[in-house]
Structure 1
Amino acid sequence: MIAKKELKILLIEDNPDHADLFLANLELTVYSDAHVAHQWTLEEGRRQLRTNTFHLLFLDLSLKDSTISETLNQISSFGACCPVIVLTSLDDDQTILNIIRKGADDCLPKSELSDVLLERIIHFNLDRWQLKQELVQSREAYRDLYHGSPNMLASVDARTRRVLTCNQTFADVLGYTREDVVNREITDFYHPDCHPKFSKVFERFLQEGVVSNEELQLRKRDGRRIDVLLNVSAVRDHEGNILHTRSTWIDITEKKSAERQLHYMQCLNRLIIETIPDLLWLKDNDGVYLACNPRFAQLYDLTEKEIIGRTDSDLVDQEQADFFREHDKLAIDAGKTVMSEDWVTFASDGSKALLETTKTPLFFEDGAVAGVLAVAHDITDRYEAAKKAEAASRAKSAFLSSITHELRTPLNAILGYTQVLLRDSTLTEKQLNGVSTIHRAGEHLLLLINDILDSSKIESGRLELAEVEVHPISFLQSIKEIIELRAQEKGLIFRSIIEGDVPTSVLVDGLRLRQVLLNLLTNAVKFTEFGHCTLRVHGEAAENERVFLTFEVEDSGTGIALDDQKTIFEPFRQVGDRLHHGEGTGLGLSISSHLVELMGGELQVMSPLAREIEENEGPGSRFFFTLQVPILHDARGEDSAISQQIITGYISLDKPGKRQKILVVDDIASNRAVLRDILQAVGFVVHESEDGHEIVNVCQAVRPDLILIDLLMPGTDGLAAGLQIKNNKDLVHIPLIAISALMTERKGLQQQCFEHGFRDVIGKPCSVRKLLETLERHLPINLIYDEKKEGADPEDCIVPSPAVLDELATLVEMGDINGISQKITELCMKDAGRYAVFCSYLKKYFDEFQFTGLLNFIAASRSKKLCQEIKMQYS
């Protein structure tokens, strides 16, 4: 309702006396505060209506610019704005009726004008206008709902079955206009196949007055069929007779299609389950059988229906039922597929079978366990075949071992005597040549026997490595001396190249490595007629005192075709030019490949080579592999002297005297303190942060030259923090170094760190030297060394306080692996490496999981005889 003070009235009256009378009466009503705009002519009044909003219009019929007739004809044009109340001097009923017919909302004879009547007319017309507007809005809303409904709506005449009205959705879905639909029989829009059913439904409607959820089919204009759900209610006259319908059609085409597809899939799944030769069953989370196939039912000599609803306890003894239930739980707990092999006996015929069972847990969308699906495949035949093959393999291996021994015995005599005869000066040149031919043939035969025996060992898995200390320089020199002579005999150039960080001593199976390299180099010489053969060894430092050694054997021979490269490492394969030579068993490369694999590498081949080919040379080939081997004695040639010196400081290369800033990010305060003490002792400025969440803000505040980040932190871990730095264009230049105790536990962690923006990774525990030398690699600094030697001499062993020893002993007794590792790291870095020697012995026991020895060492550390006992243990 409009507030009285906000009421706006437009009065169009050209008689001043009449206007004053109107205003005087208005002052006496409750609407005395209303705002009244008075205009003298019809045109001025019209202009006011165009530019302003009014709630009531009082209009005199006889105006200066309009006659009574003209004014009457224009009343309807004012009615859209507000209620129009005509003021007239005529008061006969016919005139008033004519005025109302012309569109006026009310008529007020001037002769009857009073405050009471005026107030009533204003009140009445305002209320009626508001109701009128609400009715218009309601109709518009109904029309919008009717035509905007997602369902098809229509009214159908109960007698003629013709469509009286329909909404836009009905027309759109069927491909018509509303004009096309109205007055046509509703039957025209049903699919012909559905006409008989619809007739029955409509007859039932005429009797009952309602239709609920009836599935029918409509036909679109283009002939396509759609599935619908029909609901109908009746509109009746005052006597209860049905006049027409209120019909609603819901399009369920997609639903019906999905139902048909589901039914098809259910039938298909059932067909698969019933015909699959494997045993298949499904249990719920409580172990109750929900489904199984006939093959599984044969296991218990029951039908499928008899098994569904039961548990294993209903089918087998409790011990076996508990066994099956435990395996179900293993799959559920693992959250993934698990496999097992079990012997079972079929109750239907008593036969036994070995089943390979795959159990997969099923989960609902919310993560709740739905059950376990199991498929069991009968592998009895495969098991029996494997047993026979294993027996045959053992027999073959035994035979080969026996026959090679029998062959070696006479061959040993032949080779021995040929060597004796070759030293006999009484033999003629012809005789010496004959003996030499016999000796070479014997050596070749010995190589063939060794190849066959090695191949047999590899096939049976009996070939084991024997790692020993090897000095790479002298080791490679001995190989070079052998191959160099053979190369010279053919007029080939032999090159031996050592590159990178090759240590002076490593732990590797020297005999097998020598066998591989000699085989590759011998082949290179054998199949190269012109040019060169090259042995190249490259060393690259790895983590945990290990080194990557890459061996390459390259030649300028005829090369190897791409198709042959796929099979060249298979046993008894001789490909390309190698086939024409007709020498060897074809086992050399196969054995070499397996030996390299046993040593932790992969033998690969590349041919042809991308290089300039000299005259008469072939496209060449390159065989190569990489081994990661432990370094012994930490000996690295020219660096060995420096490695024994203590680091006391550094020199900044970019700006003399500059102190490099290091940001240490670690959630453990003690770890940060250790790194802070180490770094500050040699002159670094250290800033700290306890988590990776605010790392960008901290970096922007302190602008570090390098960041050390622990990987394992709550919230934002080290990898996520590194990624933030990597993705920030203002900080990406800052070197990131990861520090983690997970290096030996998580495969591929180092590569993952590099992908997240880290430039290096240091394992825990690490030495002070390794930490500082890592910083030197990534900062513009040179470390300063003094002449004092470092070393793991027991005499230099400094033991930490009894409280620290007690804490270590407690961690060992609890078996807290992470705690022990963290404590060793903390001690190793504390006080600039003060306890480095002590930690080296701790780490030796820890790395070998000798916890009893670790406890004994800690106990011995409390006595004054510590250094003597250490000497005895490691002398």
Structure 2
Amino acid sequence: MLAFVNSIVTASPLISDGHCDRWQPGLVALHILGDWSIAFSYCAIAIALIYRTQKHPDYNWKLLLFSALIVAGATTHIMEALTLGHPLPGFSVILKAIAAIALIFLLPDLFKLVGSPTFICDRQQAEENLRWQETLLRSMADASPLAFYVVDNRSDEILYFNHRFCQIWGIEHLEAAMQRGELKNNEIIPDCLPQLVDVPAFAESCKPLQTEENRDAIEDEIPFTQGRTIRRFSTQIRDESDRYFGRLYLFEDISDRKQAETALKESEIRFQAFMDNSPTAAWITNDKGRILYLNPAYYRQFNVPNSYQPGKTDLSFFPAELRQEYLKNTRQVINSKQTLEVIEQGVRRDGSPGEFLVYKFPIPTTTGQLLVGGVAIDITERKKAEAEVKAQQQFLRQVIDVVPSAIFVKDRQGYFLIANKVSAQMHGTVPERMMNQREHDFNPNFDLAHLEQYLTTNQEVMETRQPQILTQEIMTAQGEMRWYKTVISPFIDAQDCVQGIIGTSTDITELKNVETELRQAKERAESANRAKSQFLSNMSHELRTPLNAILGFSQVMSRSNRLGNEQQEQLKIINRSGEHLLNLINDILSMAKIESGQLTLNPHCFHLPLFLDDLERMLQLKASEKGLQFIVERSPNLPTNVLADENKLRQILVNLLANAIKFTSTGSVRLGVSCTPQPDERLTLHFEITDTGPGIAPSEMGLLFDPFVQTTTGRQSMQGTGLGLPISREFVRLMGGEIEVDSHLAQGTTFRFNIDLSKSASARCKPRSAHQRVIGLEPNQPPYRILVVEDDDESRLLLLQLLQPLGFQVQQAVNGQEAVELSSSWKPHLIWMDIRMPVMDGYEATRRIKAASQGWSTIVIALTASAFEEERCEIIAAGCDDLVYKPFQESVLFDKMAEYLGVRYIYEEENSTSYQLSGISRKLTASDFSAMPLEWIANLHHATLCAREKQILQLVEQIPESDWFLAKALKDLVNNFRLDLIIDLTQSLIHE
């Protein structure tokens, strides 16, 4: 400025002035600079005074006036500088005079204003306020959930940021460096990028914000990782002069808000879906009853026009009386602010009246207004059903009240839900008082122990869903002890849930008394039955033991060649009589077994064709004696080996066939046997016995299988005991079949039965020789030691005489004690052990012998006269390997020893077809009859044709002693059922 002034004044060495003609240039410049400085000072004072007008509005006009005078004074100095060469002294003097006058007038107020402390401290206060505002803004920015970020895009400098910005972008570790100004915007971007889901999209959105020309403010949402959403707001920062300073970014984490918005939206969708698909009518009204919302079910349920628009009208489509009721209930909800449950009448979609269960509830709004929501359930049909159920319950009540038993229903805790009059009478109360109570609540005599038992049983029934039966003696309310049978079943509802129990209690006191009497009678009967069984067992033993000696010694004596024909015949009579007596004993014992339920099967493998052959041979003679044809028909598919109870099957067939032969006078008896194969190697055998006898009267068919009962024909025959058919039927039933009878008077009778068997391919199932007698032991065998243990002298002697002649080494003992001692020292191969003996019985002896055998196995076969199955089980349990019943056949003993020891025998030669006399190599021929007259031969032929065994033997007795061979041969043929050979020989002689 000084240089500028000098350049002006130096243009002329002298400058004229009003007071001075000449001024030195240096002084002139100094004068001009002084005027300008004073003018600027005046202006600054004027500006300060104008600023103070904002602080002191009460001095506003005075300060403005004084500021104008000061500006005027400044103007005079400027004019003096500008008119230095041509001064205007009048103008300057006039302005200065006016300013001086005004100053004198304003001076007191100015002194008052300038002298106040407020004026002195205004600047300091302004600065302090500025600093405080800056601190406040910084604190507010740091505490704000918004992230602030200001960047100068031109220099890439970070002008401002807060702590929240570093948190959102995960760059807290850079915050200190950023505060020190050590980092620029591009240097922090790499650390921010991991927070982004889509970096390229974010970079693309930032490009328009990098230029100063883009003045647009933007607002968008940026997806961050971990499901976060960040809202971004950005705008340019410019001052009043529109100068650009940078760009401001605001970031806000709105993840929770977005989740809430999403949840709210989903909730609205769910609510709308629920309301759209709800079968229940729902609505919302205001406090005036105007409908604001109806769900689709409302249109379907009520008679509402489809064109109805909620929010525009009231309930005008309903009848007036219904509208009043609806509005009354709505106001009640508004006033009470409580949910209301009420039954309202309505008009259904089809126009029919209905009843609806309505729930109305208050809905508060943000404005404080209360709306009313409601749902309506059509219960018209339910009301009808309830009425029907009530009628049914009344009917059911009448039904259960007439039942003589107590009927009740209880819940899961044992409280009564239903009870009939009998239940109430049992406890001395009425059904109504029993509801929701337990027995002891209204029956003081009821035992709590019984209640606990009831509750335990009820729990088991509910858990298992299986009924249970309780029999208890309960004291009634009248103090009387009564027996009740209670059946408890689960109470299951329509949803298959167990809700309790249903029970019935029946007074069985009288029945209990009868049961007590029956039990006592049963005990007496069982005691009598045990006595009978014991008697039968003793009788069996007492009868079989001597019978064993009778039949046994007859077999021993028949071996002797020194007996004459007459003695041999007498032995056969003894043997047949003994067999008959044995059959009677067996029938009685079998009947006793049937009555006591002790009948069991003892299956074993046997040869079916040989079994039928034996049966045919056995009965052929009896049929021939009566002149009957005995026919056995076998189907070609019969198996060879079967597994069944051979003895019982034989007894069945013998009983049926013997009866058929006994009651048939002329004609024939036929046995048919056929087979039907079954799966799994099983088969069914079919038996049919047909005769041409007198038949059975229809009136007697019901008595046919009764024990000890005979038909008229049976009684007329004076034979039998009436046990054969009952025993046969029980045997068939035991084998899984049933006997069927078909009979016609004067035509005959047919018995049929089927039994299920198993095929058997066992090697032990071999055919036995039918008529071969053991006469010795094969050579090259070890000496077999046989111990006979028997207390009965005759039975023991019988076994010795059967075994010793064949070559067995035999020792004997009379009781179990001796048997144990002999077994220990002599070590026999096989022991025939009697069961009933003094000192030590066979059970104990067998147990001791089996326990003491070390490295030596002794076979023990029991000999018993008992036919009861329990004794057989005890015998096997004691350790016996097998048992044989007395009386026994010698062949059975020899077969058992062959089975267990492998003994091989020498047998007597089998008779040939033309008959070969034992020990004599000669055949019976027609020439042997030469000494007998023709009349005798004709009588013999006729007796043989009629199978009259007694007449044949009488004729044989007429043969002279000199023709002993003829007599012996004829007797042997009769005994061996070969009457056919006698018929052939005598017929040829008669024709000659």
Q: TM (normalized to structure 1)?
A: 0.39
Larger radius of gyration, structure 1 or 2? Answer: 2
Q: TM (normalized to structure 2)?
A: 0.35
